[in-house]
């Protein structure tokens, strides 16, 4: 298999998300899915929870995936990273 240099389309991301959501509902989670950390974490939560307790987690996974598609997950992670850098820099000044 060759290296893909182009970013997957939203359709491909959606297909991947639904595939991995179905796997999580059976207790399987895979790594290197192409989904972001927030979405992966939500899928792991589903896979590690009893089926009767998954309804809210499935909704959370859809929210996390929406955040991947609209970029808000990446923005939030970048802002948190920037805050950590600034806090570290402030600590070095004192």
Q: Is residue 79 included in any domain, yes or no?
A: yes
Range of the domain at 68: 10-93
Q: Is residue 83 included in any domain, yes or no?
A: yes
| Residue 56 tokens, joined | 């809210």
Q: Is residue 14 included in any domain, yes or no?
A: yes
Q: Is residue 2 included in any domain, yes or no?
A: no
Residue 16: partners with Cβ closer than 8 Å, 6 or more residues away: 8, 33, 34, 35
Q: Residue 52 has what DSSP assignment?
A: G
Q: Is residue 34 included in any domain, yes or no?
A: yes
pLDDT bracket for residue 1 (50, 70, 90): very low
* pLDDT 10s digits, 61-87: 999 999 999 999 999 999 999 999 999
Number of domains in the chain: 1
- Residue 3 scores a pLDDT above 70: no
* pLDDT 10s digits, 31-63: 888 999 999 999 999 999 999 999 999 999 999
Q: Is residue 89 included in any domain, yes or no?
A: yes
Q: What is the pTM of this model?
A: 0.81
Q: Where are the alpha helices (DSSP H) in 1-94?
A: 10-25, 37-47, 55-70, 72-93
Q: Is residue 1 included in any domain, yes or no?
A: no
Compute the distance between CA of residue 72 and CA of residue 32 in angstroms, rounded to an integer: 20
| Residue 89 tokens, joined | 């820099």
């Amino acid at each position: 298999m060759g290296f893909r240099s182009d970013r997957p389309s939203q359709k491909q991301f959606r297909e991947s998300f639904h595939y991995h959501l179905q796997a999580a509902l059976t207790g399987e989670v895979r790594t290197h899915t192409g989904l972001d950390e927030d979405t992966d974490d939500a899928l792991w939560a589903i896979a590690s929870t009893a089926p009767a307790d998954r309804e809210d987690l499935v909704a959370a996974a859809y929210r996390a995936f929406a955040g991947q598609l609209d970029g808000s997950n990446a923005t939030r992670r970048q802002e948190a990273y920037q805050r950590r850098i600034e806090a570290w820099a402030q600590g070095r000044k004192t």
